[in-house]
Structure 1
Amino acid sequence: MPVKIVLGSQWGDEGKGKLVDILCASASMCCRAAGGNNAGHTIVANGITYDFHILPSGLINPSCTLNLIGAGCVVHLPSFFKELGALEEKGLQNVHQRVKISDRAQVCLDLHCAVDGISEEILRSKDGDKAMIGTTKKGIGPCYSDKVGRRGVTMGMFMSENGQWEKRIRTLHQGYLGTYGTDALSQYDIEAEVSRLKQFRDELVQGNYILDATPLLSRTIGSNGKAKQADTQFGDAPDDTNGVPKADEEDSALFSNVLIEGANALLLDIDHGTYPYVTSSNTGLGGVFTGLAGLSPLTLGHPDSSIIGVVKAYTTRVGSGPFPTELNTSIPHVSAEDAHAGDELQRIGREFGVTTGRKRRCGWLDLVLVKYSCQVNCYTHLNFTKLDVLDSFAEIKIAMSYKNRRDGSEIKGFPSDLDLIENEHLEIVYKTMPGWKTETTGTREWEQLPQEAKEYIEFVEAEVGVPIKWIGTGPRREDMIVR
């Protein structure tokens, strides 16, 4: 049974949602493995713009019958239900019936959101804006911290009849009061949150949203990567302890093609990103298999399986942290001409964060970064997005390597030592290529691209050593070249 995994290759905002939307046309299951509503995927279909955060983007396609939020995710229930309601208002069908949450996912609290903001403010007050991580303040980091500290609340705990979830949340609150003080948390109301959570719990029960996902994934795709035969009905038998439905094999047989939707991107991975300016989960290939236990790595041996890296035709970043190719007048050694190019990338590309609305930092395509991403995530194919944003540029630059500005020595690979890639210490070796100065927006055939655009794509493809199968040429679902 084929499995397709779509992962962000840079710092996020590459345009993963659009490819997921296209691939979901042939997928019966779409899964999120990690992260929370700090993710932001925009899809334009039939003239309507949809924004996805915690929900899998497969909900946009009625044929995608199950959209699973996996065990590696953290779920802020007010946002979960609000997002479902917004999709329903835009005309998407059966969204409540087509989404499930793993009973091992963590509950992200309003308390976590409050603490997230407090933590960022402490960093800012001590060392200024540059010291801030630049989080979305959605509570993701504190929630994962409590998960790792074994203080959190899983969905399974939350659904249990023993009521221990409330005690754990109150204990969390007392701990944060001890850390930050009552004044810092004065705007947070523990009683109001507990009351809301009880209402959400009732909705989860009534809607049958929570399930034991591991048997579903294991039965859908066996250890040898082949679908197993089915003989019973999904969801009929309750779990022995928490009343969480078990996944049975008949329903599993319905899932003939599984799509995994990555959130955030590799350079924001807690282990492999630009730490500490990262998110709090494993956003790369490794996080897929920990967040979706039961999914065998052997499935990737299927001839139709693939690991797809989504690469924007230039580079953007939201929030703090190093950004070697950033084009901004505040960056040392950036010329006025290049700074203007950065402004144009931001303007033409409409580079604003889907989740936060913050203006994205922009720069030229960084192949050092992309090659590193390829090494970590083992991509079999790439999706090259937003090519049309480059249409008006007479020249386009590509970062080929890094040098230490102080002694001229080459910096090998993409270093974990962030001091080496701080802009004032770094010299970028660029290759300059001619632009095409021709509109490509809406182009759907490779042959219709200008020769210079083809050469730009082929150069990137040759340098990274991974075939570019999809090329995005606009915001609409149809604006995609498939090679």
Structure 2
Amino acid sequence: MIICSAVTDLRFGDCAKGKVVYNLAKNYDIVLRHCGSQNAGHTIFHNNIKHVTHIIPTGIFWNKTSIIGPQCMLNVPALFDEIKELEKLNIDVVSNLKIDYRAHIITDKHLKEDSNEIRIGTTRRGVGQCATDKFARIGTRAEDIPLLKQFLIDCTDYFYSQTQDEKTILCEGAQGYYLTIDSKYYPYVTSADVTLGSVIASGIPPQSIKSIYGVAKAYDTYVGTRKFQPTGAIFNKIADCGHEYGATTGRRRQCNWLNLDELIQAALVSGTTHIIINKIDVLELVGVYKLIHNKDIKEFSSIQDFKDFITHQIKTAFTNRQFSYPETIFSDNPYTI
């Protein structure tokens, strides 16, 4: 029997999913990275020390079975570099890390091809090029790499090998809803499905998914060449207060007010049972509380009014569609939910 929860980003990534997964993972048997690649960067604080993971699931910090799923793409040297960094912390990676044999490999060729990309503003980690080979059916998979043999599993077989045993699985997403390959913002997207569809494609039946944690921030950020940040010093102030730099590339993120309409749409489509809105403290630092609703900018006199409005709009949107509305949680702490 499988009991599953999933953590997914409702915006453009960079919404502190890593923190959420880290705080939940200790309660699960398995953490499954169900999408993404080393272009992701999940920031967590373990024993009060900051760490950034890229492809290895966050469950590794809790000595949990940590699986890189079949929808993921990875570069072998980068994977072993990440393993070495974690082993310096006395974390037992080798005993707990598993890789589905179907995960695709980012090769040196892919990295070279991506090294001068400027049109989309990618992380230049070879993800698009790897995806191209995958769908052309000429790609290299984890099963083709001898160095990975000790880690290889078939997720489906692994999950169902002992059908009488209850397995609790936490699915860790990457990037965000509006960066998935079929997003309305195409072509300014990632090169894979990073929605909850990749959970099912990893061997998790839909009926076993009991909780879905949708993650956002109190404001929006985006990294890439698409024009995203409006004119105004306030947005640079938000970026400075929020330390808005990419965990993987170090690039400064563009900032804007939270688009509540888009957040609600993503939450509805994703079937969220909990919505976690991080970095409330950043807006408190800048002292301005605004968001986008019905395509207009709405301003509030206090952070409490800001939070109350968001909660009400989410509840209304869900109940109008006869859905159970999610619990909305506002976080002002980089360490905990």
**TM range, normalised to the smaller chain?**
over 0.9
Aligned residue number for residue 315 of structure 2: 462
Higher relative contact order (CA 8 A, sep 6+): 2
Structure 2 residue 27 is matched with structure 1 residue 26: yes
Aligned residue number for residue 252 of structure 2: 359
Aligned residue number for residue 330 of structure 2: 471
- 1:44-71 per-residue CA deviation (whole Å, 9 max, x = no partner) reads 1221111010111111112x2x100011
Aligned residue number for residue 278 of structure 1: 189
Measure, in 1, the Cα distance between the counterparts of 2:44 and 2:184.
26
Question: Which residue identity does 1:473 align to in structure 2?
Answer: D
Superposed counterparts of 1:364-443, under 5 Å: 364-402=257-295, 429-436=296-303
Following superposition, the deviation at residue 89 of structure 1 comes to: 1.1
Following superposition, the deviation at residue 455 of structure 1 comes to: 2.6
Pairs aligned (count): 330
Question: Which residue identity does 2:51 align to in structure 1?
Answer: Y
Summarize the Cα distance change of 1:15–1:464 in structure 2 as closer, same or farther, 3 Å threshold: farther
- Please tell me whether the aligned partners of residues 272 and 326 of structure 2 are also in contact (alpha carbons under 8 angstroms): no
Following superposition, the deviation at residue 373 of structure 1 comes to: 1.1
- 1:270-297 per-residue CA deviation (whole Å, 9 max, x = no partner) reads 013510000001010112212x12x111
Following superposition, the deviation at residue 460 of structure 1 comes to: 5.0
Following superposition, the deviation at residue 361 of structure 1 comes to: 0.3
Following superposition, the deviation at residue 115 of structure 1 comes to: 0.4
Question: Which residue identity does 2:206 align to in structure 1?
Answer: P
Measure, in 2, the Cα distance between the counterparts of 1:387 and 1:457.
12
Superposed counterparts of 1:100-249, under 5 Å: 100-118=98-116, 120=117, 124=118, 132-159=119-146, 201=147, 204-205=148-149, 208-219=150-161, 228-229=163-164
Following superposition, the deviation at residue 79 of structure 1 comes to: 0.8
> Tell me, what secondary structure is at the counterpart of 2:69?
strand
Superposition RMSD in Å: 1.8
Measure, in 1, the Cα distance between the counterparts of 2:29 and 2:71.
21
Aligned residue number for residue 2 of structure 1: 3
- 1:279-333 per-residue CA deviation (whole Å, 9 max, x = no partner) reads 001010112212x12x111213xxxx1111101111000112253xx33x3xxxx
Measure, in 2, the Cα distance between the counterparts of 1:384 and 1:17.
13
Q: Between Structure 1 and Structure 2, which shows a larger proportion of strand residues?
A: 2
Identity %: 33
Question: Which residue identity does 1:312 align to in structure 2?
Answer: K
Summarize the Cα distance change of 1:464–1:348 in structure 2 as closer, same or farther, 3 Å threshold: farther
Superposed counterparts of 1:62-77, under 5 Å: 62=63, 64=64, 66-77=65-76
> Tell me, what secondary structure is at the counterpart of 1:432?
strand
Question: Which residue identity does 1:271 align to in structure 2?
Answer: D
Structure 2: unaligned runs, 5 residues or longer: 319-324
> Tell me, what secondary structure is at the counterpart of 1:258?
strand
Following superposition, the deviation at residue 397 of structure 1 comes to: 1.2
- 1:431-467 per-residue CA deviation (whole Å, 9 max, x = no partner) reads 111134xxxxxxxxxxxxxx44653553454355343
Question: Which residue identity does 1:137 align to in structure 2?
Answer: R
Structure number with greater Rg is 1
Structure 2 residue 225 is matched with structure 1 residue 320: yes
Measure, in 2, the Cα distance between the counterparts of 1:467 and 1:67.
28
Tell me the TM-score normalised to structure 2 length: 0.92
Question: Which residue identity does 1:374 align to in structure 2?
Answer: A
